[in-house]
């Protein structure tokens, strides 16, 4: 797979775009520049059937030091060229291009883009909010990595803390590559077998994240995947790609 030979270029934004262009050409997807920030173009990828169906929202790279996320989203797409156009995809391959290039969690202004979804000043996020306002979103997947991560884990917001078992299945898809994070507490939240179920009534004190914004406004299943950013890139990519594949292949055929 391409990530093995290209892993040393995971912060090369132009190269990321070039590979997405190839995916779009081969799979019949549309790739459109929707904003420009700090001189860098920001892109949206959609499949043709998105007009008639409720959308599946996928995004990566909101934190630029988590390049396993941008590589994994691309790797998943590269491995599913023949079926991408039949899924109603709304994809943001990299939400923080400046951060990716500079290996930074924050944008050029020092803003954490994953804490401003209540009232964003960032034109790319403003675009996404208005783009998604009048469409139905049936599933949201946001990809992240954790510098302190000890294994793979995910967030699934929940109002009542009750599991439907899906989160457990998703993590199982990643465990051939990375074991579950064994911690009982992750970022101040209770975790069990790599699953965190944050209550939407208890958001991060410093602002509203992307995933919570979608959970609250679109009331759809929302998953945030996390891999340990200190591990080998190819394992992180395979783990995240397997989780996306599990969600999209098992439920949305
Ligand atoms: Zn992150």
Ligand 1 midpoint to CA 152 (Å): 13
The two three-digit tokens of residue 37, written as one number: 């920030």
Q: Which residue has the higher pLDDT, 31 or 162?
A: 31
Ligand 1 midpoint to CA 52 (Å): 32
**Share in percent of the chain as helix, strand, coil (round to 5):** 40, 20, 40
Residue 140 in contact with residue 223, Cβ under 8 Å?
A: yes
Answer whether residue 66 shows pLDDT above 90: yes
The pLDDT assigned to 251 comes to 47
Answer whether residue 8 shows pLDDT above 80: no
| pTM to 2 decimal places | 0.95
| Strand pairing category for 89-92 and 55-59 | parallel
69-85 residue pLDDT tens: 999 999 999 999 999 99
Give the angle 215-251-213 at the CA atoms, nearest 5°: 10
Cβ neighbors of 167 (< 8 A, separation 6 or more) are 154, 156, 195, 197, 223
Measuring CA to CA, which residue among 236, 241, 223 is closest to residue 78? Answer: 241
Count CB neighbours of 46 within 10 A: 18
The DSSP H or E segment spanning 100 is helix 97-101
175-208 residue pLDDT tens: 999 999 999 999 989 999 999 998 888 888 889 9
Answer whether residue 146 shows pLDDT above 50: yes
Residue 95 in contact with residue 125, Cβ under 8 Å?
A: yes
Ligand 1 midpoint to CA 132 (Å): 21
The pLDDT assigned to 200 comes to 85
- Say how far apart CA 92 and CA 77 lie, in whole Å: 12
- Say how far apart CA 98 and CA 37 lie, in whole Å: 8
Ligand 1 midpoint to CA 73 (Å): 14
Ligand 1 midpoint to CA 239 (Å): 16
Domain of 23, CATH number, reads 3.40.630.10
The DSSP H or E segment spanning 247 is helix 233-251
Ligand 1 midpoint to CA 63 (Å): 5
Ligand 1 midpoint to CA 185 (Å): 17
Ligand 1 midpoint to CA 143 (Å): 7
The domain total for the chain is: 1
Host domain of residue 76: 2-251
> For 100-103, which contacts have Cβ atoms below 8 Å and span 24 or more sequence positions?
100/11, 100/13, 100/16, 100/61, 100/64, 100/67, 100/70, 101/11, 101/12, 101/13, 101/40, 101/64, 102/11, 102/64, 103/11, 103/64, 103/65, 103/67
Ligand 1 midpoint to CA 62 (Å): 7
Ligand 1 midpoint to CA 113 (Å): 10
Ligand 1 midpoint to CA 106 (Å): 10
Ligand 1 midpoint to CA 4 (Å): 22
78-125 residue pLDDT tens: 999 999 999 999 999 999 999 999 999 999 999 999 999 999 999 999
Residue 144 in contact with residue 174, Cβ under 8 Å?
A: no
Ligand 1 midpoint to CA 33 (Å): 23
């Amino acid at each position: 797979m391409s990530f093995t030979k290209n892993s040393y270029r995971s912060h090369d934004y132009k190269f990321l775009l070039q590979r997405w262009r190839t995916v779009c050409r081969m799979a019949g997807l549309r790739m459109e520049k929707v904003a420009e920030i700090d001189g860098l173009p920001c892109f949206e990828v959609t499949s043709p059937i998105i007009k008639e169906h409720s959308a599946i929202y996928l995004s990566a790279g909101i934190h630029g030091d988590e390049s396993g996320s941008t590589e994994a989203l691309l790797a998943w797409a590269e491995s599913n060229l023949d079926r991408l156009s039949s899924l109603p995809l709304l994809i943001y391959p990299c939400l923080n291009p400046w951060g990716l290039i500079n290996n930074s969690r924050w944008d050029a202004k020092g803003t954490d883009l994953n804490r401003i979804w209540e009232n964003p000043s960032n034109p790319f996020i403003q675009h996404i909010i208005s783009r998604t306002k009048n469409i139905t979103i049936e599933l949201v997947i946001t990809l992240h990595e954790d510098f302190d991560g000890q294994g793979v884990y995910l967030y699934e917001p929940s109002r009542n803390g009750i599991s439907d078992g899906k989160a457990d299945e998703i993590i199982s898809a990643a465990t051939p590559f990375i074991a579950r994070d064994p911690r009982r507490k992750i970022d101040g939240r209770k975790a069990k077998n790599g699953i965190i179920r944050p209550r939407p009534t208890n958001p991060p004190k410093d602002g509203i994240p992307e995933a919570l914004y979608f959970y609250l406004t679109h009331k759809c299943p929302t998953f945030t995947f996390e891999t340990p950013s200190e591990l080998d890139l190819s394992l992180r990519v395979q783990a995240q790609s397997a989780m996306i594949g599990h969600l999209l292949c098992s439920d949305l055929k």
